[in-house]
Amino acid sequence: MKILIVVDMQNDFIDGALGSKSAESIVNNVANKIAEYKNAKFPVIFTRDTHKEEYLTTQEGRNLPIEHCIFNTGGWNISSNLDTKNSEIIDKPAFGSLELSKAVSKYKDIEEIELVGLCTDICVISNSIILKAAFPEVKITVDASCCAGVTPESHKNALNAMKMCQINIENEEV
């Protein structure tokens, strides 16, 4: 069995407060990847960056003082271009989610966990490392064509760091 993790494909990261052309450019790739997994009847789990109104007073808010993904706002929502039906959605208050590894552990005979989404250099890398630690014998893959970083350089740096942690990188531009 394969599982797809769609990390933080939310409006604020695509075309909102922290959006970018790079993020906008991967939405169709991610939509196609979701359809591929759903057609194969494999599970798709979404994460959703979730902050409270007091975000700016948190450690993350002091280091990144741009309000984003505030609970129940338009920017918090997952892109309407992505099919979330019959998928679990995990709200996460930090970059990585231990709840995600618990959700994945409900499945048996996992051969591969694939991650896609935003941002490669923050939340994708954090969750890929958590999943690698939780499932050391499961193949962990990141599809680079379905990810975007804060900058193209930090995206590439994150991909290289994940490679060093024995995470497979697919569709990386050379």
- Report field, pTM of the whole predicted structure over 0.85: yes
CATH number at residue 100: 3.40.50.850
Please list the pLDDT of the chain residue by residue as tens digits (174 residues).
Answer: 999 999 999 999 999 999 999 999 999 999 999 999 999 999 999 999 999 999 999 999 999 999 999 999 999 999 999 999 999 999 999 999 999 999 999 999 999 999 999 999 999 999 999 999 999 999 999 999 999 999 999 999 999 999 999 999 999 975
The count of domains in the chain is 1
Name the residue range of residue 59's domain.
Answer: 2-170
For 68, phi then psi, to 5°, come to -155, 155
